[in-house]
Amino acid sequence: MTIIKRGFAALAAGALSTALAVPAFAEPVKFDFWFGLSGDLARVVDTLCKNFNESQKDYEVVCTSQGNYDATLQNTIAAFRAGKQPTVVQVYDVGTATMMLSGAYKPADKLMEENGYKIDYSDYFPGIARYYATSKGEMLSFPFNSSTALMYWNKDAFAKIGKTEAPKTWEDVAADLQALKDAGYDCPMAINISANESWQLMEQFSALHNQPVATKNNGYDGLDARLEVNKTKFVQYVTDLKKWYDAGLVKIKSKDLGQDMVQAFATGTCQLILTSVGDHGTVGRTQKEGMNWDVAELPVYAGTERKNSLVGGASLWVLSGKSDGEYKGAAAFLNFIHDPKTALFWSTNTGYIPVTKSGFDFMKSNGFYDKAPYKGREVAIASLTASEPTDITRGVRLGNFTQIRAEFGTQMQAIFANKVSVQEGLDALVKNGDAILDRFQQTYPGKTLP
């Protein structure tokens, strides 16, 4: 017994002394930052953390990759339930609604205000800020790695069919794909129909055309929102994609099949793809020698008044239940990331875009977008800021959205394998997706989104 007692006493003393030691000896306050990027991108985050630690001596951020976005959220929830959560965590866009109802965070704008940082929130691109803000405009988390979807087109192949510009409408795309096919290209356009492609096929398409994904302004106005993609312009889009697939104009490319669509484009196998600006660097690094390619905004149907595209990526949340010292450190860290110089470092080393106007201007004035490998990335900003966000184009805020995206993948596969018609597949997506939303609403009775 005495041994145990002594152990406890030692532990308590240890805890007490570390708690007291911080102010007394001015050792840096340590706090944890968990993120979901891996590989190349994780190394960039590690450098970012090192830069922050070297920029001042009061705080020390300990950055740990959790492998991917899913795992980061799972691990953070497990840690939170055990009372061992990190101070700052990176959560992907689709986790936003879940985070907002978690009651487990400290609003980022309050944190900054309490610690004396004045952040000009109007500096954020509105399309990015509104994705992470409450309906009243309070920023609950800070955008970190942001992207949007673009069209990548092979200039050499288009030159063969007498085109020097990327198609702007889906009608043009249809004509160009046929021309490319006739010119002997086996794969005019590549798509992927997995769960995550919901982002660019369903969500981006709907935003550009100002079409809702769900009722209640895409879920911003309540947990009782329900899907309605089975009766918007999206039906037309899937019908066309399927028609082009059947005619051999569109090929499905994914890693499971041997080559994903980014590889298929970079090697010159396929001539047109729609994917994140985050892949801009990868295409540049892995492209076939001497291939000419460029990016353009996603096409829209003729006669559409183009709206802003949606932001993708992840934001930084500060979790509740930490000490004042850790919160001070977290605030300093967020302020560091908000700095335009950090934006330049971040965007140079990844494909992500700057999230603030001042960051973008700083990069422009540094000539970033004139240099060879980065040229074209400004199109992403143009696409994100094509219009002032409407009630529908500020984002999609639905509970358990990961499961809804999985349902999207399932139904797209059923449609493309001719198991169901386009309308049947989309009806099933809405029916099963609504059941998921219903379940989320039951889990949080009486709660509303902030």
Residues that bind other proteins (CB under 8 A): 70, 73-74, 77, 80-81, 98, 101-104, 194-195, 252, 254, 256-259, 400, 402-403, 406, 409-411, 413-414, 416-417, 419, 432, 435-436, 439, 442-445
Query: What one-character-per-residue DSSP string does 210-273 give?
Result: T--SBHHHHTTT-TT--B-TTSSHHHHHHHHHHHHHHTTSEEE--GGGT--HHHHHHTTSBSEE
- The residue type found at 405 is R
In degrees and rounded to multiples of 5, residue 105 shows phi and psi of -125, 165
Looking at the Cβ atoms of 184 and 445, the one nearer to other proteins is 445
End-to-end CA gap in the chain: 51
**Shortest distance in whole angstroms from residue 81 CB to other proteins:** 5
* Listed residue (257, 298, 293, 256) closest to 276, CA to CA: 298
Looking at the Cβ atoms of 285 and 439, the one nearer to other proteins is 439
Token digits of residue 169: 């409408």
Token digits of residue 324: 């004042």
* Listed residue (446, 438, 2) closest to 227, CA to CA: 438
**Shortest distance in whole angstroms from residue 194 CB to other proteins:** 8
Looking at the Cβ atoms of 86 and 389, the one nearer to other proteins is 86
**Shortest distance in whole angstroms from residue 74 CB to other proteins:** 5
CA distance 31 to 365: 34
**Shortest distance in whole angstroms from residue 321 CB to other proteins:** 11
| 72-95 burial code (b ≥16 CB/10 A, e <16) | bbebbeebbeeeebbbbbbbbbbb
**Shortest distance in whole angstroms from residue 398 CB to other proteins:** 12
**Shortest distance in whole angstroms from residue 382 CB to other proteins:** 34
**Shortest distance in whole angstroms from residue 442 CB to other proteins:** 6
CA distance 329 to 433: 40
Looking at the Cβ atoms of 199 and 368, the one nearer to other proteins is 199
Helix (H) or strand (E) run with residue 149 in it: strand 149-154
Looking at the Cβ atoms of 392 and 406, the one nearer to other proteins is 406
CB 356 within 8 A of CB 343: yes
Looking at the Cβ atoms of 263 and 387, the one nearer to other proteins is 263
Looking at the Cβ atoms of 34 and 59, the one nearer to other proteins is 34
Query: What one-character-per-residue DSSP string does 182-200 give?
Result: HTT-SBSEEE--SGGGHII
**Shortest distance in whole angstroms from residue 197 CB to other proteins:** 12
**Shortest distance in whole angstroms from residue 436 CB to other proteins:** 8
CB 393 within 8 A of CB 308: yes
